[in-house]
Copies of this chain bind each other. A is one copy, B any other.
Amino acid sequence: MAAQTQRQPTASYRTPPVHMDPGEVALETALLALADPVRQILVRELAQAGDWERQCGSFDVPVTKATLSKHFAVLREAGLLEQRDAGAKRLNRLRRAEFDARFPGLLDLVLRHEGAS
Chain A residues near B (Cβ < 8 Å): 26-28, 31-32, 34-37, 40, 103-106, 109-110, 113, 116
Contacts and interface: CB of A to CB of B under 8 A. Distances in A.
A110 B34 contact: no
| Overall SS of chain A's interface | helix
Contact of A27 (B103, B104, B109): B109
Number of copies: 2
Given A32-B35, A35-B35, A27 B110 contact: yes
Contacts of A28: 35-37, 40
Contact of A109 (B26, B37, B106, B113): B106
A107 B90 CA distance: 35
B116 A26 contact: yes
Given A31-B34, A32-B35, A103-B113, 11 more contacts: A27-B109, A27-B110, A27-B116, A28-B35, A28-B36, A28-B40, A31-B32, A31-B35, A32-B32, A35-B35, A106-B106
